[in-house]
Structure formats: structure tokens, C-alpha cells
């Protein structure tokens, strides 16, 4: 059963936001995903990550379904 993700209004210093956005871009994440990644890492490092917390959503495109042989065989 999927749970709805919480929405949060976050006010940041513009230079902090810019730094986060650049960092997120370097790691091919959205700024939102980068903030969640950093917060989760901080919680884990502090020993405060709840055991029931869902994992991070997977990044990128979903994998292609296996549609059988592509028609070309490699020997």
C-alpha cells in the first residue's frame, strides 16, 4: 500500500538553495530529492532514522519490460 508523501513548505536562504540546486544537478537529482537525500543521511548518521521509513523512490526511468527476444541473436 503506497502512502502519500508529506508536503512541506521550506524557507531557505537563496544562496543555500542555489548550492543545493547545483549539488542536485551534479548528482542528477531534483532539488527536492537532494534535500530528502541529505536529510535521510543526517538522520541515519545521528541514529535517528525511523525503522519504518520507506526507502527513497528510485531515480530515473523505470526499467523496460522484458518483451522477449529482440530478434537478433548474439553468438
What tens digit of pLDDT does each residue of 7-46 get? 999 999 999 999 999 999 999 999 999 999 999 999 999 9
The residue with cell 508536503 is: 7
- Using CA atoms, how far residue 19 sits from 7, 15, 23, 64, in Å, is 22, 6, 6, 34
Predicted TM-score (pTM) of this structure: 0.69
- Domain borders along the chain are 15-45
Amino acid at each position: 500500500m503506497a502512502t502519500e508523501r508529506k508536503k512541506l513548505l521550506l524557507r531557505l536562504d537563496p544562496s543555500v538553495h542555489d548550492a543545493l540546486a547545483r549539488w542536485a544537478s551534479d548528482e542528477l537529482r531534483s532539488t527536492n530529492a537532494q534535500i530528502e537525500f541529505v536529510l535521510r543521511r543526517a538522520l541515519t548518521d545521528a541514529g535517528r532514522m525511523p525503522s519504518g521509513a520507506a526507502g527513497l523512490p528510485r531515480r530515473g526511468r523505470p526499467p523496460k519490460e522484458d518483451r522477449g527476444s529482440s530478434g537478433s541473436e548474439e553468438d
